[in-house]
Amino acid sequence: MSKRSPSPVLSASAVVAGYRDKTILHGLDLHIGAGEIYALLGANGAGKTTTLSLFLGFVAPDEGQVRVAGVDPVGQPAEARRRLAYIPENVALYEHLSARENVAYLLHLAGEAEDREAIDRALAAAGLAESAFDRRVAGFSKGMRQKVAIGLALARNVPALLLDEPTSGLDPQATAEFNRLLGVLRGQGVAILMVTHDLLSAADVADRIGFLDAGRLLEEVAAEGSERFDVRALHHRYGGQAA
């Protein structure tokens, strides 16, 4: 069963949801507090993407309730999306614009201030080299694109962040750097939900790991002590679902 976080930023309560006549999620209870990183693992078809779509307001629950910082993402989609940032597996940026121009333009689209100094601070905090600020993103690696997206999240100062397979395609060094950046966001009080197949990366950074199978949250495991998680035991028990 899911443990309810005090005053959760991202909250799904007894949610049943799906598409047309197919039910994907069966009674999902998921609650993520400020300054918490939650990794949701599961095989393809387990319901991970549907869970993200709930918080983005793309899927309406048939039963239950979903909230983003207290806002219904279906009833008030614009208000809910102002309270979160979403980084997909393949970050979509404007190829002909520089990193700085991308952040400025996306802030403009969100109706937020486009202060150059604040944008530069956010990109630097996201780990992007200053020499890349004015480079067109067309030549950026996936890791660099993610840093631009995280810079945008930092500049927006949103309370929640959704991540879809964030470490897919990253080498070990880039994965370690990405996890460090998530730690920076955690320190700023951001509630982070990442869906992933990568148990090792999740164990490195997550405060809790949840295992989703056929639309049901089988179990949640919280980090404890210096070892955080018994990865071998988790892989033995859930390797099939998270593969």
Looking at 123, 157, 191, which one is the last position of a domain? Answer: 157
Q: Are residues 150 and 166 in the same domain?
A: no
Q: Are residues 144 and 193 in the same domain?
A: no
Q: Are residues 121 and 164 in the same domain?
A: no
pLDDT surpassing 70 at residue 5:
no
Q: Are residues 76 and 167 in the same domain?
A: yes
- pLDDT for the residue 241: 54
Q: Are residues 144 and 192 in the same domain?
A: no
Lowest mean pLDDT among 85-89, 229-233, 235-239: 235-239
Task: Name the residue with tokens 């006549």.
Answer: 21
Domain count, the chain: 2
In this prediction the pTM is 0.87
Query: Which CATH number covers residue 233?
Result: 3.40.50.300
Strand-by-strand arrangement of the 10-19 sheet: 22-32, 10-19, 63-68
Q: Are residues 67 and 3 in the same domain?
A: yes
Q: Are residues 16 and 67 in the same domain?
A: yes
Q: For 51-61, what is each residue's pLDDT tens digit?
A: 999 999 999 99
- pLDDT for the residue 2: 44
Q: Are residues 78 and 120 in the same domain?
A: no
Q: Are residues 68 and 176 in the same domain?
A: yes
Q: Are residues 138 and 153 in the same domain?
A: yes
Specify whether the CB–CB gap between 61 and 229 falls below 8 A: no
Q: Where are the alpha helices (DSSP H) in 160-222?
A: 172-187, 199-205
Q: Are residues 208 and 180 in the same domain?
A: yes
- pLDDT for the residue 1: 41
Q: What is the mean pLDDT of residues 33-58?
A: 94
- pLDDT for the residue 206: 95
Place 64 in a pLDDT band, splitting at 50, 70 and 90: very high
Q: Are residues 203 and 168 in the same domain?
A: yes
pLDDT surpassing 90 at residue 175:
no
- Dist CA 90 CA 1 (whole Å): 32
Looking at 140, 157, 174, which one is the last position of a domain? Answer: 157
Task: Name the residue with tokens 């949103």.
Answer: 158
- Dist CA 69 CA 180 (whole Å): 24
- pLDDT for the residue 6: 59
Q: For 194-234, what is each residue's pLDDT tens digit?
A: 999 888 889 999 999 999 999 999 999 999 988 888 888 88
Looking at 157, 186, 201, which one is the last position of a domain? Answer: 157
Residue 130's domain comprises 91-157
